Amino acid sequence: MSKAQYKWIGTRPDRPDGADKVTGRARFGADFNLPGQLVGKVLRSPHAHARIRSIDTSKAEALPGVKAVVTAADFPDQPNQIVPTGEMQVNLRDITRNIMAREKALYEGHPVAAVAAVSDAIAKQALALIDVDYEVLPHVIDVAEAMKPDAPLLHEHLITEGVNPPPTKASNIAKRIEFKKGDAAEGFAQAEVVVEHDYTTQAVHQGYIEPHAALASASEDGQVQVWSTTQGHFQVRGFCSRLLNIETSQIRVTATEIGGGFGGKTVVYLEPLAIRLSQKAGKPVKMVMSREEVFRASGPAPGGNVHVKIGAMRDGRIVAAECRVDMQAGAFPGSPVGPACMCSYACYDIDNVHIVGFDVVSNRPKVAAYRAPGAPISAWAVESSLDILAQRLNMDPIDLRLKNAAKKGTKTAYGVTFNTIGMVETLEAIRDSEHYKAPVKPGYARGVAAGFWFNVGADSSAAAHVGEDGSVTVISGNPDIGGSRASLALMAAEELGVDYNKVRPVIADTASIGFNFVTGGSRVTFATGLAVVNSVRDLIRELKVRAAKIWNVDPDGVMWENGMAKPAGSNVGEFEPLSLAQLAAQAGRTGGPINGHAQLNVTGAGPGFGVHVVDLKVDHDTGIVGIGRYTAAQDVGTAIHPSYVEGQLQGGAVQGIGWALNEEYIYNTKGRLENPGFLDYRMPVASDLPMIETILVEVPNPSHPYGVRGVGEVPIVPPTAAIGNAIARATGIRMTDLPMSPPKLSEALDSAALKIAAE
């Protein structure tokens, strides 16, 4: 498919939400207010692990200005039951305990009560008046510690799943998973070179600039309205319905503009509390987290411990691979250890693979999704090991990967056989890039790494409405987090053959469009895009019916071309083409409003592959890494709006660089987070980085009319290893623990220097 065939797809018009966002008119979560609203605030556990003996809220309730107080007693307990809420699988017992601690506080920051009051100051005062009687328990933060048989136990009922026979004793290991292909032991027996290492990563936060915020208004008749900054307002509705025992039709959720989410806003924290407080107080309740609350109590991405063993022949062919991932789930089961395992070797065509993963709870906030959840953790280990292998074999790291690259027909260790994919093309794009061909500047070293993500389809609904002047409203139900309004409008304009500016995309609330799964998994441009295309096709079908009526011909005799109804052939008759505007003007006489609808469960998401290359220098005295040049290549399917595709690649790369160099959750001996703010949780700042160069490799997804693949996840997968690999080549030191922060790298450099001196 070449872009020449498209008029709108592949162009870079202004985004429909752009002007409002740059002028400050756009309304984000904390910008919504209602008359008479109260301020809601959460009392949080200061302890990492404590039994809650009792909570006395009487003094807080007696404080003038306090209108409602809630604790776990205000939420119905839930069964130990995994249910689909929307499309997410959640354990109701766990989620109700995460939004409000019940028997125990399981992490510092865990909510134990919430108040609604007439002012911020009174709400704060009320929190101080709540007496919680805690029995402080021993806590465990580290995954390896949490897996030990004598570790402090978070959940007395937790029996490891996936082990046969099932253990009789509870532990912090929620689940064991395993993937096998071929016979790894046999593969290693053949291998001429074996690389084996252990790696660790730390918990990192998505770092979205907008803290969680929600406004809820519960009416006396049982109806509830919620305004929330979320990646999925249908998910908010589903969770709240379950947790509060309210029918979904009684809850109407409007997604506000969203200031970043990266997966972290696919769950609920404040919304159920705000609704319950509003029900009790009889007034709207607004809740906004502070940055500190975001860090302590919203879901970061997990850290993990990874063991990797790779066996290869001298020519670079990998014959066996093993991976074991022990992953933090936070206080409740459900880490992304599954995708971490599945993604570990997905870039490569390897006959013998054995992967094992463990989902482990500890006294940390429950993890949430973060761009390609789990994948960066296993990729850090696998891609670093591949670089060691390349060095051992004296092979170019791109050539090694090309030799083993997955392609159409490759069967993955998790069972899926790839359709058309672009791993080879993406490797070649880097190999042939100006960056990779340019010699490495003196003082710098170069690293490369690859990454994979499945991408997601799932449920989407869309509608296309023609206005009386012939302009078009495209209605969907996914919060626009990365420019999806523009992409949806471009596809609608292309399909309909009208100007992009005649198409106005809107995001409807949960009562105004059919169900849509979250904005996540890089699904919106692909899946909701397909729903939009189908709704426009439905609209075109109706437009043809209307033209046929005007011409008094059979609808099959009408074709749609360049935004016009035309006779499909000379046998139909001689008619002047009818434009969308003309058809709209006559709609009242031809059958009323002209709308199109579509709803579907989308399958066939095309997986994405990324290859990154970085040139960096290491200050040997300080351990500070300076990024000189960075290029990210990715098979992006068809870039509908290339600027936003490039933006995804750049943003993912930058977050990955932060993960590699400085970002980490730091806990003290009491199990309290030491760095809950952007000063000491060090995300990269603009001056830290060069412009991230991008190469869009367009390998269209055959399962989408315009070849769309999700693009948002893959770019966070390669950076940590690309940087580690460059550091290894700059210094001769292989870093295996993230982050490669200045103190850590400096210490590694000094101990290596000492060793050399001793020799």
Interface residues with another protein (CB under 8 A) are: 121, 621-624, 661-662, 666, 674-675, 678-680, 682, 684-688, 741-743, 746-747, 750
Query: Smallest distance from the beta carbon of 674 to another protein, in angstroms?
Result: 5
**Helices 375-393 and 397-404, interaxial angle, to 10°?**
110
**How many Cα atoms sit within 13 Å of 300 on the Cβ side?**
31
As a whole number of angstroms, the distance between CA 103 and CA 106 comes to 9
As a whole number of angstroms, the distance between CA 671 and CA 667 comes to 6
Give the number of residues written for the chain: 759
Type of residue numbered 25: R
Q: List the catalytic residue out of 322, 663, 713, 759.
A: 713
Tell me which H or E stretch contains 24. Answer: none
CB 88 within 8 A of CB 266: yes
Type of residue numbered 184: A
Type of residue numbered 317: R
Query: Smallest distance from the beta carbon of 629 to another protein, in angstroms?
Result: 16
CB 245 within 8 A of CB 78: no
Type of residue numbered 70: V
Nearer to another protein, 686 or 756 (CB): 686
**CA 395 from centre of chain:** 34
Query: Smallest distance from the beta carbon of 203 to another protein, in angstroms?
Result: 14
Which runs of consecutive H residues, i.e. helices, occur in 48-176?
58-62, 92-99, 120-128, 143-146
Burial 423-458 (b: 16+ CB within 10 A, else e): bbbbbbbbbebebbeeebeeebbbbbbbbbbbbbbb
As a whole number of angstroms, the distance between CA 385 and CA 199 comes to 10
Query: Smallest distance from the beta carbon of 29 to another protein, in angstroms?
Result: 20
Nearer to another protein, 196 or 619 (CB): 619
**CA 653 from centre of chain:** 14
Query: Smallest distance from the beta carbon of 41 to another protein, in angstroms?
Result: 13
A 10 A CB-CB count for 470 gives 18
Nearer to another protein, 186 or 747 (CB): 747
Q: What share of the chain is helix, strand, coil (3-state, %, to 5)?
A: 30, 25, 40
Query: Smallest distance from the beta carbon of 442 to another protein, in angstroms?
Result: 20
Short-list 440, 455, 401, 444, CA closest to 424: 401
Query: Smallest distance from the beta carbon of 312 to another protein, in angstroms?
Result: 36
Coil/strand/helix, residue 606: coil
Query: Smallest distance from the beta carbon of 263 to another protein, in angstroms?
Result: 24
**CA 166 from centre of chain:** 32
Residue 600 pairs with which residues in a beta bridge?
A: 460
Query: Smallest distance from the beta carbon of 347 to another protein, in angstroms?
Result: 31
As a whole number of angstroms, the distance between CA 365 and CA 294 comes to 10
Nearer to another protein, 603 or 687 (CB): 687
CB 486 within 8 A of CB 499: no
Q: Which residues contact 328 (CB under 8 A, 6 or more apart)?
A: 143, 203, 302, 303, 304, 335, 360, 362, 364, 367
As a whole number of angstroms, the distance between CA 406 and CA 611 comes to 13
Nearer to another protein, 250 or 746 (CB): 746
Sole residue written with tokens 């502070």: 290
Nearer to another protein, 378 or 741 (CB): 741
CA 243, 247, 250 angle in degrees (round to 5)? 115
Query: Smallest distance from the beta carbon of 701 to another protein, in angstroms?
Result: 38
Nearer to another protein, 243 or 749 (CB): 749
As a whole number of angstroms, the distance between CA 522 and CA 508 comes to 20
Which runs of consecutive H residues, i.e. helices, occur in 191-290?
233-244, 271-281
Type of residue numbered 430: I
- 121: which 2 tokens? 């100051």
Query: Smallest distance from the beta carbon of 733 to another protein, in angstroms?
Result: 16
Residue 277 pairs with which residues in a beta bridge?
A: none
CB 177 within 8 A of CB 267: no
- 214: which 2 tokens? 């929600």
Query: Smallest distance from the beta carbon of 129 to another protein, in angstroms?
Result: 14
Residue 713 annotated in active site = yes
Nearer to another protein, 204 or 708 (CB): 204
Nearer to another protein, 403 or 682 (CB): 682
Nearer to another protein, 679 or 691 (CB): 679
**How many Cα atoms sit within 13 Å of 516 on the Cβ side?**
39
As a whole number of angstroms, the distance between CA 427 and CA 435 comes to 13
Nearer to another protein, 11 or 746 (CB): 746
Nearer to another protein, 117 or 633 (CB): 117
Active site residues: 713
